[in-house]
């Protein structure tokens, strides 16, 4: 019997494969600025770099038009305190936001200063940010002069529950609101970003995944001078020489769980998030923090009905909850502090659950749509849920089934759906960066989710836009670096090894093994011994099973390369876990239970030096005075906000 793979070997073309196969062939391109990852941060980075007149190349693993976590849409522009209706001062708000442990003031200050400018620029590109068709006149938070719509539930203080009246309509009156969270038509954004990239002459290379960074003379820790990529349609090898490079590949991949047939992935984010940006930068010598931190996650594991619990969460803006007897449930649907607090705080949920157990609230809960006014209902159902992304599927399905919010309650799944297991986790690390969003490596910039303290869509947009102009400025002052042919050949050998084999292990089996190791040895129970066994097991996979991986088409080859990246990522996490001899938020060790003892109340920063894993500790709040530093680094920037 001829297998699919035999067929490929014989004919040089897989059956029904619509693209020419070009394994091992090279395509070489020159750029001033290279952006790896065409999501929210990446598109913004490419656009702002291209606006300065430099030549920009953008590599995107999927199709830029809808790729990434923000591709399908977005309903909250979360943090734009420089807008004309804001009730908070951007610099003070940035300080306030950064005033929590393990955050990072650099990205927050950039966001607070430039988020509104970014949104206005989005509007110029064709993104819809106002109620221009007057569909929601009279909605709470809508301003008739600007037609901007603010989310009415965000206040100027931390968690307001259980203040009397929390959850009641009108609890968060206008004077208590921050007016920093803007309701937007985010499904229009990604196509507008791609269009603008094209209009500005950015060379957008869809279906090309970045696989490694090139460094000057091939030396680890030296200036970054470009990258390599793999085309997942043709299998072609792409070499981009660049004066500066920006990594915007989003977050980490499914390190603890991956089973697309059964219960999904260990991340609610796109399947294209596989941590390559972080791992390729680490291999090149970049500093990565927070590797040891991970949290259990239920979303996207298949155990949750959908990725929000329903009414009362995130995009289900202001939908009041009632219990099974029609009694009002005081979950804080109004009066939250910022959009990071999209779901009720754990302590709030714990209190409501206590009342459920006492029999004071009857399950299930329901979203009480009929109690809302027509315009509020439409603003939540059509605008927020319609634009957010995955929720669009939910409302389309409900609409088709005849749901009518003026009449029908909608079941909430809070408390009645299964949570994830403690062994199903998310985590993976963040880039260290300076006030230019530059890493410790010359020529290498970063933006978006994976920054230290990375936040929401608008944060990714604002930091991408910022990194683009910084990387372009650097590129204008420096010549191309000297590429090492040896470095390229080594990468080609790594990439094509699975395609050169005829049989062995396929990526899914390999991935399952790796995820199991992370589940067993770096999960709820954390001890030195478990980490040691985990590292040993991962290294065995590297030595014994990685050399057996095979892939017979470009798609499978990419999946295989992603898994090799994730194996390396898992090792980084295991090593960092061993290195932190104390507990911290997101990292509870049984053998070192003390939380944040002074000598460990710092970021653990990992870095490869001569291919050896090294760490250092970095004080929190290392970024200095946020306002002063921002202004010192951006004297040439002309934004809306008065300095």
Ligand X SMILES: Cc1cc2nc3c(=O)[nH]c(=O)nc-3n(C[C@H](O)[C@H](O)[C@H](O)COP(=O)(O)OP(=O)(O)OC[C@H]3O[C@@H](n4cnc5c(N)ncnc54)[C@H](O)[C@@H]3O)c2cc1C
Give the nearest distance from C-beta 175 to ligand X in angstroms: 25
Pairing of strands 203-206, 56-60: parallel
Give the nearest distance from C-beta 493 to ligand X in angstroms: 19
Give the nearest distance from C-beta 643 to ligand X in angstroms: 26
Give the nearest distance from C-beta 62 to ligand X in angstroms: 4
Give the nearest distance from C-beta 429 to ligand X in angstroms: 14
Give the nearest distance from C-beta 37 to ligand X in angstroms: 3
Query: Residues near 388 by Cβ (< 8 Å), separated by ≥ 6?
Result: 73, 74, 75, 186, 314, 315
Torsional class of 566: left (φ above 0), alpha (ψ -120 to 50), beta (otherwise): alpha
Task: Considering the complex, state which of residue 37 and residue 429 has its C-beta at the smaller distance from ligand X.
Answer: 37
Task: Considering the complex, state which of residue 38 and residue 155 has its C-beta at the smaller distance from ligand X.
Answer: 38
Residue 640 CB neighbour total at 10 angstroms: 12
Task: Considering the complex, state which of residue 348 and residue 383 has its C-beta at the smaller distance from ligand X.
Answer: 383
Give the nearest distance from C-beta 289 to ligand X in angstroms: 17
Task: Considering the complex, state which of residue 342 and residue 472 has its C-beta at the smaller distance from ligand X.
Answer: 342
Is it true that the peptide bond before 162 is cis, omega within 30 degrees of 0?
Answer: yes
List the beta bridge partners of residue 33: 56, 244
Of 346, 324, 529, 292, nearest to 332 by C-alpha is 346
Task: Considering the complex, state which of residue 42 and residue 296 has its C-beta at the smaller distance from ligand X.
Answer: 42
Using H for helix, E for strand and C for coil, what is the string for 387-427? Answer: HHCHHHHHHHHHHHCCCCCCCCCEECCCCCCCCCCCCCEEE
Distance CA 331, CA 343 (A): 10
Give the nearest distance from C-beta 112 to ligand X in angstroms: 14
Distance CA 534, CA 575 (A): 10
- The DSSP code sequence of 215-236 is EGGG-TTS-EEEEEEEETTT--
Of 435, 450, 468, nearest to 288 by C-alpha is 450
Interface ranges with ligand X (CB under 6 A): 36-42, 59-62, 67-70, 74-76, 78, 209-210, 248-250, 268-270, 272-273, 276, 388-390, 448-449, 456-458, 460
Give the nearest distance from C-beta 187 to ligand X in angstroms: 10
Task: Considering the complex, state which of residue 296 and residue 454 has its C-beta at the smaller distance from ligand X.
Answer: 454
Task: Convert 209-234 to b/e letters by CB count within 10 Å (16 or more is b).
Answer: bbbbbbbbebebbbbbbbbbbbbbbb
**Which stretch of DSSP H or E encloses residue 49?**
helix 40-51
Task: Considering the complex, state which of residue 228 and residue 615 has its C-beta at the smaller distance from ligand X.
Answer: 228
Token code pair at residue 108: 């927050």
Task: Considering the complex, state which of residue 210 and residue 534 has its C-beta at the smaller distance from ligand X.
Answer: 210
Distance CA 484, CA 226 (A): 11
Give the nearest distance from C-beta 196 to ligand X in angstroms: 15
Residue of minimal Cβ distance to ligand X: 39
Only one residue has tokens 């955050």, namely 103
Task: Considering the complex, state which of residue 393 and residue 590 has its C-beta at the smaller distance from ligand X.
Answer: 393
* Cα-based torsion angle of the residue sequence 207, 213, 218, 219 in order, rounded to the nearest 10 degrees: -170
Q: Give the helix ranges, DSSP H, for 87-202.
A: 90-98, 105-124, 189-199
Give the nearest distance from C-beta 510 to ligand X in angstroms: 18
Of 67, 72, 73, nearest to 42 by C-alpha is 67
- Are 206 and 59 spatial neighbours (Cβ–Cβ below 8 Å)? no
Task: Considering the complex, state which of residue 61 and residue 602 has its C-beta at the smaller distance from ligand X.
Answer: 61
Give the nearest distance from C-beta 609 to ligand X in angstroms: 24
Task: Considering the complex, state which of residue 208 and residue 605 has its C-beta at the smaller distance from ligand X.
Answer: 208
Task: Considering the complex, state which of residue 80 and residue 475 has its C-beta at the smaller distance from ligand X.
Answer: 80
Q: In what order do the strands lie in the sheet with 76-77?
A: 76-77, 182-183, 149-150
Tell whether the torsion through CA atoms of 389, 391, 394 and 396 is positive or negative.
Answer: negative
């Amino acid at each position: 019997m001829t297998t699919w793979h035999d067929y490929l070997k014989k004919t040089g073309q897989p059956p029904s494969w619509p693209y020419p196969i070009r394994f091992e062939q090279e395509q070489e391109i020159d750029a001033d600025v290279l952006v790896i990852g065409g999501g929210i941060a990446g598109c913004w980075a490419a656009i702002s770099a291209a606006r300065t007149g430099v030549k920009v190349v953008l590599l995107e693993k999927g199709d830029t038009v809808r790729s990434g976590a923000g591709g399908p849409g977005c309903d909250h522009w979360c943090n734009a305190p420089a807008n004309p209706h804001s009730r908070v001062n951007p610099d003070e708000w940035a300080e306030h936001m950064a005033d929590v442990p393990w955050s990072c003031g650099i990205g927050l200050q950039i966001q607070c200063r430039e988020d509104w400018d970014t949104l206005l620029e989005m509007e110029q590109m064709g993104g819809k940010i106002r109620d221009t068709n007057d569909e929601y006149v009279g909605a709470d938070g809508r301003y008739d002069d600007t037609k901007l719509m603010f989310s009415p539930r965000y206040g100027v203080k931390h968690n307001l529950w259980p203040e009397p009246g929390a959850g009641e309509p009108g609890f968060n009156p206008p004077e208590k609101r921050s007016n920093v969270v803007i309701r937007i038509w985010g499904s229009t954004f990604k196509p507008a970003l791609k269009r603008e990239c094209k209009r500005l002459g950015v060379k957008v290379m869809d279906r090309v995944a970045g696989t490694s960074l090139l460094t000057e003379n091939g030396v680890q820790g030296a200036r970054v001078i470009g990258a390599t990529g793999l085309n997942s349609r043709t299998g072609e090898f792409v070499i981009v020489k660049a004066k500066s490079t920006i990594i915007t590949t989003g977050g980490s991949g499914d390190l603890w769980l991956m089973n697309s047939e059964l219960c999904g992935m260990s991340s609610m984010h796109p399947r294209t998030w596989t941590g390559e940006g972080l791992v390729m930068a680490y291999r090149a010598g970049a500093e990565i923090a927070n590797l040891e931190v991970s949290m259990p996650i239920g979303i996207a594991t298949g155990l949750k009905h959908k990725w929000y619990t329903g009414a009362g969460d995130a995009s289900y803006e202001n939908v009041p909850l009632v219990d099974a007897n029609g009694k009002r449930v005081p979950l804080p649907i109004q009066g939250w502090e910022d959009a990071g607090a999209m779901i009720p705080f754990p302590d709030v949920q714990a209190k409501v659950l206590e009342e459920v157990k006492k029999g004071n609230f009857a399950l299930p809960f329901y979203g009480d749509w009929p109690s809302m006014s027509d315009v509020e209902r439409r603003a939540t159902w059509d605008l927020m849920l319609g634009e957010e992304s995955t929720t669009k599927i939910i409302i389309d399905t409900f609409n088709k089934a005849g749901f009518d919010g003026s009449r029908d309650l909608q079941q909430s799944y809070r408390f009645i759906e299964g949570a994830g297991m403690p062994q199903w986790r998310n985590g993976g690390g963040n880039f260290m960066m300076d006030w230019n969003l530059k890493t410790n490596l010359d020529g290498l910039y970063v933006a978006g989710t994976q920054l230290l303290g990375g936040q929401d869509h608008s944060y990714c947009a604002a930091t991408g836009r910022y990194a683009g102009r910084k990387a372009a400025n650097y590129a204008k002052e420096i010549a191309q670096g000297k590429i090492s042919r040896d470095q390229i050949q080594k990468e080609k050998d790594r990439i094509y090894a699975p395609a050169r084999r005829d049989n062995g292990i396929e990526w899914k089996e390999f991935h399952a093994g790796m995820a199991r190791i992370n589940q067993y040895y770096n999960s709820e129970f954390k001890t030195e011994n478990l980490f040691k066994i985990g590292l040993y097991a991962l290294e065995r996979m590297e030595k014994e099973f990685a050399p057996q991986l095979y892939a017979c088409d470009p798609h499978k080859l990419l999946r295989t390369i992603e898994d090799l990246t994730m194996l390396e990522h898992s090792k980084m996490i295991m090593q960092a876990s061993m290195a932190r001899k104390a507990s911290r938020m997101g990292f509870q060790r049984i053998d070192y239970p003390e939380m944040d003892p002074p000598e460990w109340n710092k970021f653990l920063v990992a870095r490869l030096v001569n291919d050896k894993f090294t760490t250092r500790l970095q004080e929190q709040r290392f970024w200095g005075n946020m306002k002063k530093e921002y202004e010192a680094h951006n004297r040439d920037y002309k934004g809306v906000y008065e300095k």
